[in-house]
Structures are given as C-alpha cells and as structure tokens.
Structure 1
C-alpha cells in the first residue's frame, strides 16, 4: 500500500504547517491527488486516520481533490490525458510509452500528492486563517 508513504509525507508537511499554533486544532487537511499517483481514496483516508493519531491533525477531515493526469512525448509531440494512453494504464507501469511512437512520455500533470491547505480552528471554536501546505 504505497498510499501510506504518500500520506506520511502529507502528515509531515501538515504538522509543519501547524507548528507554533498551540491554541489551534486542524479541522481539515486538503490534498490534491494526481491520477498517475494510482492512489485509492479509501486507502489514503485510512492511512491519514492512522498516521494522524495523537497529533494536532487527529480528527481532521481529509479533503481529496483529484487532478487529471496528462503526458507529453518529446519525440513526436503527442500530448494527451490518461484516457488517451489506453485502457492498460490502470496500474502504475514502470514507464509510460507514447501511443504514437513508443518513446517514453514525460508526465506533465497528475503525478503525485500535494498538500494544499490545513484549515485550523481555535480550540475555543473560532477559525484561524488556513495554513498553506507544501508538496510532494
């Protein structure tokens, strides 16, 4: 389950964003998950629940935004989405190949998981401006 490793990095970045916010609790952690990350929403949510235990993130909602994948061939100029690469792109291959010429493709979007926001709430109930996150 590679989702655990992806979420481990997200939790690390989110905790960094919360550092110094002692009077605040995280209520929502927003991430973008690329189509080419081949990550299950359910596995991401489970990993987040496990990895956030005992931290300021415990109990926060994990909000997942999916990012469509796209790729480009530097050899022939092909540009397309994951759907353009064919039905066999449902599991992570070692290398994406151009459907036009067979050359390796450059993934241009949707390859990873990025922390976009950590929404904090004052422990007394009022909200704090969100903390922006880092990426992976």
Structure 2
C-alpha cells in the first residue's frame, strides 16, 4: 500500500510549512487516474497524523475525473481507471487531467 508513504509525505510537508501550528483541515486533490486510492489515504491519515499538530484535522479530498485525448483519432473523452483506452480502441492516449495529487490548502488555528 503506497498510500501510507504518500500520506506520510503529505503530513510531513504540512508540518514543514506550518511550523507545527495546529492544523484544523487539509484539502487534497487526488485525481481518478492518479493511481492513489482516496479511501486508503483517509485511513492512513489518522495513523500518520497521530501525535502531531495535524491530529484530528478534517480531511477533504476532491476527486476530479480523468480526461484523455486519443493520439490516433484526436477524440477527447472521460476516463476513470488506470487502464485508459479510447472508445475507438486505441491505447495511444495523452492524459489531460485527473492524474493530479496535490495539497490544495491547509487550515490552521
């Protein structure tokens, strides 16, 4: 489960930037085609935040849908899985969105 390491990195980054101020909310963006499972991040968040100024913070996760463009037929389409195929059958695609993993904002006291 790589989500544990990812969540640990998120909490470490927050602690570095907030200088140990009490964190009340964390807002993440985890795209549907990022390869990261939001429910696993939610589970790990409580574990890695325990005993730190992030403990007890509300975790909000935005999950934008994936968007892709086919190199073969130039169609743009929605995608939500890690295996992305164009409706035309081509696997030659460019992901346009939904692959992000970022800390959108952090609220502190």
| 2:72/2:90 contact within 8 Å kept | no
Partner of 1:105: 93
Which of 42, 46, 71 is equivalent to 1:49?
Answer: 46
Which of 45, 63, 73 is equivalent to 2:60?
Answer: 63
| Larger CA Rg, structure 1 vs 2 | 1
Offset of residue 98 of structure 1? 2.5
Over 3 Å counting, the alpha-carbon distance change for 1:5 and 1:78 in structure 2 is: farther
Is 1:16–2:13 an aligned residue pair? no
| TM-score, length-scaled by structure 2 | 0.83
Q: How many residues align?
A: 109
Partner of 1:129: none
Over 3 Å counting, the alpha-carbon distance change for 1:5 and 1:106 in structure 2 is: farther
Cα distance in 1 for residues equivalent to 2:5 and 2:100: 12
Which of 16, 28, 31 is equivalent to 1:31?
Answer: 28
Alignment of 1:53-92 (within 5 A): 53-82=50-79, 89=81, 92=82
| TM-score, length-scaled by structure 1 | 0.69
